[in-house]
């Protein structure tokens, strides 16, 4: 993965990894990094993720960083 990160223009593939509902363009280094991160995260089955909650959470995160 480190050698791939040093490559100026890594190869890209279209994939829907990590239980994604839509395919998107990914570089191989990005897949490796996200795969490593996702190995340590688990979804909370009690969490409700609808557009309103996502919007509220994104706004709260931006406001916490001082970016309205």
* In the predicted structure, residue 68 carries a pLDDT above the cut 70: no
Q: Which of these, 56, 39, 38, lies nearest to 47 by C-alpha position?
A: 56
d(CA 4, CA 27): 9
- Encoded tokens for 61: 């995160």
Residue 50 in tokens? 């609808």
Query: Model pTM?
Result: 0.50
2-59 pLDDT, tens digit each: 555 566 667 888 999 888 889 999 988 888 898 999 888 887 888 888 899 888 988 8
SS3 56: helix
């Amino acid at each position: 993965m480190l050698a791939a990160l040093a490559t100026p223009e890594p190869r890209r593939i279209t994939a829907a990894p990590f239980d994604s509902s839509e395919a998107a363009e990914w570089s191989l280094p990005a897949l490796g990094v996200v795969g490593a991160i996702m190995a340590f995260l688990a979804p909370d089955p009690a969490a409700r993720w609808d557009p309103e909650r996502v919007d509220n959470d994104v706004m709260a995160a931006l406001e916490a960083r001082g970016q309205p």
